[in-house]
Amino acid sequence: MGFEELGLSNAALEGVLEMGYDTPTPIQEQAIPLVMSGRDVLACAQTGTGKTAAFVLPVLSKIAHKGRIGALIVTPTRELCVQIERVGRTVAHSTHHAVLAVYGGVGYTAQTKALHHGVDLLVATPGRFLDLQSRGDIDLEHVEILVLDEADRMLDMGFWPDVRRILRLLPKQRQNLLFSATLDDKVLRLIGDTLDNPARVDITPASTPVEAIEQLVYPVNAMQKTELLVALFRETADYRAIVFTRTKARADRVAAALNSSGVAAATIHSDLSQAKREETLDRFRSGKYHLLISTDVMARGIDVEGITHVVNFDVPDKPDDYVHRIGRTARAGETGIAITLVSHEEIPQLTEIERVTRQVLVTRDVEGFEYKERIVPREDRQTDTSSPRAMFRGGVMGRGRGPSGGRTQRRF
Ligand code: AMP
């Protein structure tokens, strides 16, 4: 199916050309006609599926361009705001809408001025939106469409009271679109009364990670993780990678260690100023750095094409975060590699990830790396068939890929 069959306005179709898209992604194919029909939509789709265009294109097909806010998109992070604004402005070259993003961490003056200049599509983080609204800078009378982007994340980040406050400020008569990477009971309960008989669209995340991303586990002693990372990237040519750490302090430490070993890396986290973060991202995009170290919250909004590797320096506590993190690679039809460094202490989290994503991850070693305190290979251990790790026998062995195949037995 082509974009022409989705019911978009002609101007928005020109916007599709500006974006350089040929074929709609599944979420676009399913969500756009529903949004165009005027229904409320509840869409389950993770970052990387093309969800931004799935709401920006129909919204800009529907609202007027009169300099009055016709649609509001609420999203959890500044980076997402900027990404949505970028897509919106590109499409608006053809549709002639004024698109503005407002978010915290920067001064008010420019945002207030732009608001008073006239805006058709406003993209906002909840806190800054409410600040500006309480200062009388935002006129909501003409809002016809509300988009809640990454609703699950807004919930996790504690933004839900703010979101409810925003809902109360909006005209009752409006179309609601809710996008979320997960739609568990927690999300559904909270939004149940917000949407009016919504059409539901599910783009199961499984198709992206499992098929397009090669997911590998590198067992390693916790003390040797940095060393292993350096070794990994020394033997990898031509990469653009994001490394996730659990904390900001760890991100800085890992970056420092990589840099002092001759592997150029930059960090991005919330302690950095907005300007500095954007500068770092631009450098990463332009290829000045090939390695970016990040924490989860920051990484949500990173929209950089051509990421070849995602490395989980620490195993994420929540399987959901694992799916989000690795979804940074293999976007828009490309393939990618996700590497998870796993210490003995992190096996329970890994097991949970494998349970939820219904797969057994392939285990590899870095050739020639001097593993200290090399952990006993699992088949030398006493076998406890009731242990969840017992499932690695057999399952893993058959799944090694590539000519070297790596070593597919798990060692701990
Ligand atoms: P998103 O899920 O909105 O973060 O989008 C993920 C990536 O896919 C972005 O880099 C988009 O520019 C790209 N993208 C979105 N829709 C399409 C499409 N129809 N064809 C090709 N790339 C797309």
CATH of the domain at 335: 3.40.50.300
Residue with the smallest CA separation from ligand 1 atom 22 is 332
351-362 pLDDT, tens digit per residue, is 988 887 777 888
Q: Ligand 1 in contact with 24 (CB < 6 A)?
A: yes
Q: E strand or H helix at 82, and its extent?
A: helix 78-95
Residue 403 lies in a domain: no
Distance between CA atoms of 108 and 53, rounded to whole angstroms? 28
Give kind and range of the element (H or E) at residue 309.
strand 309-312
Tell me which of 202, 232, 257 is where a domain ends: 202
Q: Is the CB of 20 under 6 A from ligand 1?
A: no
Which of 114-118, 129-133, 262-266, 290-294 bottoms out in mean pLDDT, i.e. has the lowest? 262-266
- Nearest of 336, 255, 355 to residue 295 by alpha carbon: 255
Contact between 52 and 146 under an 8 Å Cβ cutoff? The reply is no
User: Could you tell which of 83, 331, 334 is best to mutate to test the pocket of ligand 1, judged by most ligand atoms within 8 Å of the CB?
Assistant: 331
Cα–Cα distance measured from residue 220 to residue 217, given in angstroms and rounded to the nearest whole number: 9
For the record, the structure tokens of 113 come out as 């001025």
The backbone torsions φ and ψ at residue 74, rounded to the nearest 5 degrees and listed phi first, read -105, 130
| pLDDT surpasses 50 at 144 | yes
Q: What is the CA radius of gyration of the chain?
A: 23
Q: Could you tell me if 176 and 215 lie in one domain?
A: no
Residue 381: C-alpha distances to residues 255, 329, 371, 377 (Å): 36, 35, 18, 7
Please tell me what DSSP assigns to residue 411.
Answer: B
Report whether residue 48 contacts ligand 1, using a CB cutoff of 6 Å: yes
Question: Predicted confidence band at 206 (pLDDT cuts at 50, 70, 90)?
Answer: very low
213-235: pLDDT as tens digits? 889 999 999 989 999 999 988 87
Cβ distance 6 to 29 under 8 Å?
yes
Q: Is a pLDDT exceeding 90 seen at residue 130? A: yes
* More confident site: 62 or 376: 62
300 Cβ below 6 A of ligand 1: no
Q: Specify whether 278 is located in the same domain as 352.
A: yes
* pLDDT at 137 > cutoff 90: yes
Q: Quickly state the pLDDT bin for 399 (edges 50, 70, 90).
A: very low
**Band of pLDDT at residue 395, cut at 50, 70 and 90:** very low
Q: Is 52 in the pocket of ligand 1 (CB under 6 A)?
A: yes
In a domain, 404, yes or no: no
Q: Is 186 found in the same domain as 215?
A: no
Grade residue 262 by pLDDT with cuts at 50, 70 and 90. Answer: confident
Q: Whose CA is nearest to atom 5 of ligand 1?
A: 50
197 C-alpha vs ligand 1 centroid, how far in Å? 28
pLDDT on residue 332: 60
pLDDT over threshold 90, residue 4: yes
Find out whether the beta carbon of 132 lies less than 6 Å from any atom of ligand 1.
no
**Is this prediction's pTM over 0.75?**
no
Decide: 303 in ligand 1 pocket, CB within 6 A: yes
Q: What are phi and psi of 271, to 5 degrees?
A: -75, -15
The answer to whether residues 77 and 98 touch, using CB atoms and an 8 Å cutoff, is no
Say if residue 145 is in the same domain as residue 92. yes
Name the residue of 3, 6, 44, 52 whose CB sits within 8 Å of the most ligand 1 atoms, as the mutation to test its pocket: 52
Nearest to 150 by CA among 174, 126, 122: 126
Q: How far is the CA of 212 from the centre of ligand 1 (A)?
A: 15
> Ligand 1 in contact with 264 (CB < 6 A)?
no
Q: Give the pLDDT confidence of 9-66 residue by residue, as tens digits.
A: 999 999 999 999 988 988 999 999 999 999 999 998 887 789 999 999 999 999 999 9
Cα–ligand 1 centroid distance for 219 (angstroms): 33
166 and 46 in one domain? Answer: yes
Q: Is 40 in the pocket of ligand 1 (CB under 6 A)?
A: no
Does residue 360 form part of some domain? yes
pLDDT reported for residue 212: 76
Whole-number pLDDT of residue 275 = 80
The answer to whether position 411 is within a domain reads: no
Q: Is the per-residue pLDDT at 197 higher than 70?
A: yes
DSSP structure string for 313-363 = SS--SSHHHHHHHHTTSS-TT--EEEEEEE-GGGHHHHHHHHHHHT--PEE
Residue 237 reports pLDDT greater than 80: no
Residues 263 and 184 in one domain: no
Atom of ligand 1 nearest to the CA of 46: 2
Least confident of 8-17, 115-124, 190-199, 381-390: 381-390
**Edge-to-edge strands of the sheet including 71-74?**
99-102, 121-124, 71-74, 145-148, 175-180, 41-44, 199-202
CB atoms within 10 A of CB 384: 9
Domain boundary among 202, 231, 249: 202
Domain that holds residue 193: 3-202
Tokens of 309: 């590797």
The answer to whether 88 and 112 are in contact (CB under 8 A) is no
Confidence category of residue 299, pLDDT binned at 50, 70, 90 = low
Supply the pLDDT for residue 88.
Answer: 98
Kindly state whether residue 356 falls inside one of the protein's structural domains: yes
